[in-house]
Amino acid sequence: MRPSDGLFNVILDRLTPIMQSYSTPILAAYGGKVYQHATGTLFAFGSHRFLVTASHAIKQYLRGKQHYKDLVLLVENGAGKLVRLYGQYNATETANDTSSNQHAADGDDLDIAVWKLHEKTIDSLTGKSYLNRGSISISADVTSGVYFLVGYPTEWSSSDLNALMINLTPMPLITGPLEAPERVPSFNPNLHMLMDLDPPAPCPKSLEGISGCAVWRLSTTQLSPAWTPDEMKVVGIQTGIFSKHGAIKATKWKYVIRCLVQLVPDIRDAFKLWLPGEE
C-alpha cells in the first residue's frame, strides 16, 4: 500500500541516491533520434559487470535492427549523458526468436535479459555504481511487505542525439502485493510476483519505458519515518503491466541468477545455493 504523501516524500528523498546510482534508462538511437526504450539495473559479481532488464526489450531491439541498420542501444551515465551499450547478452528464449510476432511478455514466462558489459561501456559509466550479491534477496515469500520500483517512461523523455544527452523524469512507485492475483492472466506464483498498480499523480498515459526495472522490497512490514535504505533488497525484475487488473508483474530474482550463470559460468559458485532446483 502506498504510504501517505508526507511519508512517501521522506522515503523518496532517501531512495533518490539509489535511483541515480544503480538504475539506468536504456535508450534506442536510430535515424538521428534517441528514444527511451526500457529500464535496467547495474550489478557486479566478481570481476564482471552486468545490466539486467526485460527480455522483450532485447527482442524489440533485435527486430528493430532488421529495419534500422544504424540502431544502437545506449545507457545513461548520470546527468542525462549517454554511453553506448557494448557487450554480450543472454535472454530467455522468446527474446532470441526474432522471427516471432509474439511479444515476449506473452510468450516468455520469465522475460529476463542480462547484458555482460564490455570494458568500453564499463570505462564510460563513470557516474554509476553497481549492486552486488548482498543487495539481493530470493525470499520465497513475496505476498507481504512494501515494494519499490522506479522506471523511466518514454512519454516523459526528450533527447538530443548530437549532444548525446537526454532529459528523463523517473516514475517512482511504492506499493504492496496485489490481492487476488489469480485473476491476472499469465501469472505463475512459482515464477512471478504481483503488485498493486497505484502510480502517483501525475502519471503518464503509457508506462512504456519502465520495462525491466528492479523491484525492491523496502520492508517486510509497514514503512515508518525511521526507515533506512539498509533494509531494502532487490527481489524481482518488472516484466509486465496489466492496467485492466491494476497489476504490475515481476519475475523473481532467483531466475535472473540462472540467466547470469548461463552467460558467465565462472560465477556459478557464488550462487550455487540460490540456483533453482539447487537450494
Q: Which residues contact 182 (CB under 8 A, 6 or more apart)?
A: none
Strand partners, 75: 26, 83
* Per-residue model confidence (pLDDT) at position 222: 87
CA 53-188-94 angle, 5° bins: 45
Q: How far apart are CA 197 and CA 116, in angstroms?
A: 31
Is pTM, for the whole model, over 0.75? yes
Go through the domains of the chain in sequence order and give each one's CATH number: 5-268 (2.40.10.120)
Q: Which residues contact 257 (CB under 8 A, 6 or more apart)?
A: 138, 271, 274, 275
Q: How far apart are the first and last CA of the chain?
A: 31
Which DSSP helix (H) or strand (E) runs through 115? strand 113-117
Q: Please check the confidence at residue 276 and state whether its pLDDT lies above 80.
A: no
pLDDT band at 202 (very low <50, low <70, confident <90, very high): low
Q: Which residues contact 270 (CB under 8 A, 6 or more apart)?
A: 45, 46, 133
